[in-house]
Amino acid sequence: MNDELDYMLFVIFRSIIATLERQHCKDNKKQIKERRNGKNNTNESFLRTSLRFFLFVVFCCFFLSMLLFLLLLSQQNSTKMKKAYILLLALVLALPGNARTLRLLYWNIQNGMWADQGYNYDNFVHFVDSLKPDICVWCEAASIFQTDSDKALPSTDDKYLPYNWDELALRYGHPYVYLGGWHDNYPQVITSRYPIRNVKRLLNSEDGSVSIAHGASWAQLDLQGQTVNIVTLHTWPMGYDRDADDRKASAAEGGGDKYRRREIEAICSQTILTHPDAANEYWLMMGDFNSPSRVDSAHYNYPSNSTKYLTLDYVREQTPYLDIIAEKHLGEFHQSIAGERRIDFVCCTPAFYRCISEAHIIPQDPSGWLNLQSANLSNFNYPSDHLPILVDFNLKHRK
């Protein structure tokens, strides 16, 4: 009985901590939004956070006092009654920790977070932990280069990632890790507070005619009895066709764009398009598409028939997916990479979109860690050349 009591007390205290973490997430989200809008009322934010913390501590003290009181009363009762009291109280306190909300963090971390590997990933872990995500999806999730160098790591044994994501993810509170299908040095990885199960790791089209350059994946997790499908991808990055003999001629005719279109067709045909009623299910698809969206055409001024739009046109026209950032910020352009383009997308089905309470690309912070500064090496930036995307879901809003 003592072991059971200790365990239930652990559950209670962990639930309290989880509630505090969620409140921190809400305050952090507001501060990010204020920073994006040019506001920075630090004193007001501090007072608001302090007041909420004080009120919550008072509530916890009251509830723990009630718990001790009930335990004292139960001393004369049977062991079964005592267990029932503890289980009931643990259930009540654990309710705020249930998966009623879901925070997703997506980010292309450039070469396995190369910029922070020399610092034991401490800055990366601190950044992720400050956001308290429930699920993370990382593109370019493998170590490739030596610290502060563009020279390749000499052997597999020297590559910390992707082989040690389980160790790294635990540092920001994620005990579950999933490695998608991959051909080369650029896999995608999912980490989560909740168990993840594999549905399919994608390497090629079903007929084998198209190789998915950096691989893709289809995984699932369960939240409150609802299955959430997560599709990750990272399409071909070059201007020419992956199979082209004459790369210059291929690039001139949009060969890279056409290849990415074939990749996205291969991915969707093996994932969301296998579910006829997917629009009414919970689906997410995200990654580095290496392509712009026609939704942002006012920013780019490409011709309407440009091959650059082929990949996202397919997603918009042939699947039920919605572009979350575009839908939540109508008429606005938000860059996702250092070059003022938006090529990273998080998409979801209409049923899941109705659960979204907030979504944004975390803005560049020139004076902070997320500064995107050049590393004085070609195509290397600190901490990445991409910006993270944060999406909050409230499952109580589902319809």
Tell me the DSSP string of 249-260.
HHHHTTHHHHHH
Q: Are 374 and 381 in contact (CB under 8 A)?
A: yes
CA distance 214 to 212: 6
- pTM comes to 0.78
Q: Are 162 and 147 in contact (CB under 8 A)?
A: no
Query: Which of helix, strand or coil describes residue 203?
Result: strand
Q: pLDDT at position 86, please?
A: 43
Q: Are 360 and 395 in contact (CB under 8 A)?
A: no
Residue 297 burial (CB < 10 Å; 0-12/13-18/19+)? middle
Question: C-alpha distances in angstroms, 169 versus 79, 196, 226, 260?
Answer: 39, 14, 24, 30
Q: pLDDT at position 98, please?
A: 52
Q: State both tokens at 377.
A: 């090496």
Q: pLDDT at position 96, please?
A: 39
Q: State both tokens at 311.
A: 């990949």
Q: pLDDT at position 221, please?
A: 96
Q: pLDDT at position 379, please?
A: 86
Q: pLDDT at position 66, please?
A: 60
Beta partners for residue 284, in sequence order: 230, 348
CA distance 310 to 292: 9
H-type alpha helices, the chain: 2-36, 42-73, 79-94, 110-117, 122-131, 165-170, 247-252, 255-269, 297-300, 310-318, 324-328, 350-353
Superfamily of domain 101-397: Endonuclease/exonuclease/phosphatase (3.60.10.10)
CA distance 336 to 190: 20
Half-sphere exposure of 189 (CA within 13 A, CB side): 25
- Nearest Cα neighbor of 299 from 262, 317, 320, 325 is 325
- Domain extents in the chain: 2-97, 101-397
- What pLDDT tens digit does each residue of the chain (399 aa) get? 444 444 444 444 444 544 444 444 444 445 444 544 544 443 444 444 445 545 555 555 565 566 555 555 555 555 544 444 444 443 443 343 456 899 999 999 999 999 999 999 999 999 999 999 999 999 999 999 999 999 999 999 999 999 999 999 999 999 999 999 998 999 999 999 999 999 999 999 999 999 999 999 999 999 878 999 999 999 999 999 999 999 999 999 999 999 999 999 999 999 999 999 999 999 999 999 999 999 999 999 999 999 999 999 999 999 999 999 999 999 999 999 998 999 999 999 999 999 999 999 999 999 999 999 998 888 899 999 999 999 999 988 665
